[in-house]
Amino acid sequence: VAQVWDPNSALAARDPNGTMYAYKDRITVVRVTLDDRGQLKDVQVEKGSGADFLDVTAMEAFRRAQPFVNPPKGLADQRGEIQFAFGFYLEVGNAGMRIFRMNKPQ
């Protein structure tokens, strides 16, 4: 997912001076559902960043990164689905990007 997530291009297109959206750090948390073969079944914004286009880039990163090979069978529920929250952190001050998995109960 990290290899295909590109919030900087989206920011540059909408905020070339960095004053409209890039004046603070942004966090997008998505809820991801995979099937037991690693195919993406669903991805939705659970907590938005305050900039819809950045939230879309986070969801698109999951769509482009699939399939996720060899998901552990023990993670699938009774329906054969694997669900988890995943975070995208855009740190403006250092022009850095971080991705993190949320450890929240389902």
Residue 5, both tokens: 């997530």
Assess whether pLDDT exceeds 70 at residue 101.
no
User: pTM of the entire structure?
Assistant: 0.85
SS3 13: helix
Write the DSSP string, 32-84.
EEEETTS-EEEEEEEE--S-HHHHHHHHHHHHHH----S--GGG--TTSEEEE
Q: Residue 106: is its pLDDT beyond 90?
A: no
Q: Are 93 and 105 in contact (CB under 8 A)?
A: no
pLDDT at 99: 58
Q: What's the first-to-final CA gap in the chain, in angstroms? A: 21
Q: Is residue 95's pLDDT more than 50?
A: yes
What is the tens place of the pLDDT at every residue in 23-77? 888 999 999 999 999 999 999 999 999 999 999 999 999 999 999 998 888 999 9
